[in-house]
Amino acid sequence: MEARLCLIFFLLPILSFLSLSDAHDLQIVNAERRIDLTSHIVKVFLTFKVENTGTSPASEFLLAFPPAQADHLALVKAAVATGKKKKKTYIPLDVNPTELPDAPNGAKFASISLKNPLNAGETATFEVLLELTHSLEPFPAEISQSESQLVYYHDSAIILSPYFIKQQTTFIKTPSTRVESFSRVDPTNRVGTELKYGPYADRAPYSFSPIIIHFENNNPFAVVEELVREIEVSHWGSLQITEHYKLAHAGARHKGVFSRVEYQSRPTISGISSFKHLLALLPPRVHSVYYRDEIGNISSSHLRSDSRKSELEIEPRYPLFGGWKATFVIGYGLPLQDFLFESPDGRRYVNFSFGCPLLETVVDKLTIKVVLPEGSQDPSAEVPFPVEQHLETSYSYLDVVGRTVVVLEKTNVVPEQNTPFQVYYTFKPFFMLAEPLMLASAFFLFFVACVAYLHMDFSISKS
């Protein structure tokens, strides 16, 4: 007993030392960061060559974010590179938000779990992709129809990290060569549409050096403030999708009057930051497509379909300028056999894509409602990232017990998240007969009533 206690007291400090040592025994030998500012979704590609300079294996690698950036972070993906130069392959790794007790200036963290711990003295190369939304601030905040849109981007010239970084360089790509101003943290260079910060050598953990870049960005700032996608499963052969959009232009607000004449006669200058149409990527074999708003059908949409995908080009009734909004509905049908499958354990599942079909669009609040056939039981959803889930019941024609609706909600959704998700459920085939049986019995009763009526004699006098 005593020996055991002794062992525990002896081991405890070592264990806590091990977990603490993780963060400080790693060092970044070389870091390269490429920030893509060409659309309104900021994409950051990071490559870290990491060395374990400690004595124990490391099982996680930490990413740090300034608090303002953490609020707009829509996606973090990480992978580890294996193999030599030509035959490099990338193995995806799990990333989870985490907290550190001694985080300076409210820095936020994400932890990358390493499948194979990094042994003392070894190096590994990690690739990280970050996507940030609402991170370009229009300045001036209001522009007229003939002006170009300018925006600010804030970041740090030095990569924020809990590790010592021996060598690092940052490249920033702007959409055009028009860059009004940029901070200098020497060495800083600008060539064409690329800004280069660094190389910087030997930066201590949590080094930070704020920079501001003021540049032109006339890409469509298409933001769906709210999107409700309803996916109705009918075992009679179809999947019916209805999507309710509240679309906004989140760029610099439009000021002054809108001149359609000028807009149409000088399309390359006038309203250059506005957008007229959007492209929706729909699954192949889509049918009965419609596109309407509160006034009615909008005919100005074009559907191109081939065996791999369908492209729907939609054109709202008016071009969208900064601060303008459009509300509309897109609906379509799909063959059920492309999306409904049976899993090995006998349950059925719907396999559909999460996210918004509009290209290069951010969704602030996305709600997906999967309406299962009447009589479905034990629904469960599998989504590759955390979402809010709950169940509802809806009623449609001829429903008796109602249909189970699996509701999934997520905020801050980017196109990268248009990945497949599944909703599993069990179903007794008997329920498929419920509605026809109900109809048949209704007709039967009606005929019985008719026959009875015809055989009755309502005359007063006997003929």
Ligand X SMILES: *[C@@H]1O[C@H](CO)[C@@H](O)[C@H](O)[C@H]1NC(C)=O
User: How does DSSP classify residue 352?
Assistant: E
User: Using alpha carbons only, what angle is made at residue 167 by residues 129 and 212, rounded to the nearest 5 degrees?
Assistant: 60
Which residue number, 290 or 444, has a Cβ lying nearer to ligand X? 290
Q: Provide, rounded to whole angstroms, the least separation between the CB of residue 352 and ligand X.
A: 8
Spatial neighbors of 272 by CB under 8 A, at least 6 apart, are: 148, 149, 218
Q: Provide, rounded to whole angstroms, the least separation between the CB of residue 336 and ligand X.
A: 14
By CB under 6 A, the count of residues binding ligand X is 7
Q: What span, in angstroms and rounded, lies between the C-alpha atoms of 31 and 455?
A: 93
Asked if 307 and 320 touch (Cβ cutoff 8 Å), the reply is no
Q: Provide, rounded to whole angstroms, the least separation between the CB of residue 239 and ligand X.
A: 13
Q: What span, in angstroms and rounded, lies between the C-alpha atoms of 325 and 155?
A: 30
Q: What span, in angstroms and rounded, lies between the C-alpha atoms of 163 and 109?
A: 12
User: Using alpha carbons only, what angle is made at residue 262 by residues 256 and 263, rounded to the nearest 5 degrees?
Assistant: 85
Across the strands, what pairs with 179?
215
Which residue number, 79 or 303, has a Cβ lying nearer to ligand X? 303
Which residue number, 195 or 408, has a Cβ lying nearer to ligand X? 408
Q: Provide, rounded to whole angstroms, the least separation between the CB of residue 422 and ligand X.
A: 5
Which residue number, 35 or 372, has a Cβ lying nearer to ligand X? 372
Q: What span, in angstroms and rounded, lies between the C-alpha atoms of 76 and 131?
A: 7
Which residue number, 341 or 443, has a Cβ lying nearer to ligand X? 341
Q: Is 199 in the site for ligand X (CB under 6 A)?
A: no
Q: What span, in angstroms and rounded, lies between the C-alpha atoms of 82 and 170?
A: 24
Q: What span, in angstroms and rounded, lies between the C-alpha atoms of 296 and 24?
A: 62
Q: Provide, rounded to whole angstroms, the least separation between the CB of residue 202 and ligand X.
A: 45
Q: What span, in angstroms and rounded, lies between the C-alpha atoms of 119 and 264?
A: 64
Which residue number, 74 or 350, has a Cβ lying nearer to ligand X? 350
Q: Provide, rounded to whole angstroms, the least separation between the CB of residue 294 and ligand X.
A: 12
Q: Provide, rounded to whole angstroms, the least separation between the CB of residue 154 and ligand X.
A: 38
Task: Kindly list the distances between the CA atom of residue 231 and the CA atoms of 182, 350, 353, 372, 407, in Å, as whole numbers in the listed order.
Answer: 47, 10, 11, 9, 10
- Cβ atoms within 10 Å of 62's Cβ, excluding its own: 16
Q: Is the peptide bond before 429 cis (omega within 30 degrees of 0)?
A: no
Which residue number, 338 or 360, has a Cβ lying nearer to ligand X? 338
Q: Is 351 in the site for ligand X (CB under 6 A)?
A: yes
The footprint of ligand X on residues 74-133 (CB under 6 A) is none
Which residue number, 167 or 422, has a Cβ lying nearer to ligand X? 422
Spatial neighbors of 108 by CB under 8 A, at least 6 apart, are: 64, 65, 66, 67, 70, 97
Q: Is 420 in the site for ligand X (CB under 6 A)?
A: yes
Asked if 245 and 328 touch (Cβ cutoff 8 Å), the reply is yes
Which residue number, 352 or 427, has a Cβ lying nearer to ligand X? 352
Q: Is 238 in the site for ligand X (CB under 6 A)?
A: no
Task: Kindly list the distances between the CA atom of residue 407 and the CA atoms of 232, 288, 348, 380, 381, in Å, as whole numbers in the listed order.
Answer: 12, 25, 18, 10, 9
The footprint of ligand X on residues 263-302 (CB under 6 A) is 290, 296-297
Q: Provide, rounded to whole angstroms, the least separation between the CB of residue 423 and ligand X.
A: 11
Q: Provide, rounded to whole angstroms, the least separation between the CB of residue 417 and ligand X.
A: 14
Q: Is 344 in the site for ligand X (CB under 6 A)?
A: no
Q: Provide, rounded to whole angstroms, the least separation between the CB of residue 395 and ligand X.
A: 24
Q: What span, in angstroms and rounded, lies between the C-alpha atoms of 441 and 446?
A: 8
Q: Provide, rounded to whole angstroms, the least separation between the CB of residue 276 and ligand X.
A: 21
Q: Provide, rounded to whole angstroms, the least separation between the CB of residue 420 and ligand X.
A: 4
| Dihedral (Cα; 9, 11, 14, 15), 10-degree rounding | -110
Which residue number, 210 or 384, has a Cβ lying nearer to ligand X? 384
SS3 content of the chain, % helix, strand, coil (to 5): 15, 50, 35
Which residue number, 48 or 339, has a Cβ lying nearer to ligand X? 339
Q: Is 422 in the site for ligand X (CB under 6 A)?
A: yes
Which residue number, 19 or 297, has a Cβ lying nearer to ligand X? 297
The residue ranges that bind ligand X (CB under 6 A) are 290, 296-297, 341, 351, 420, 422
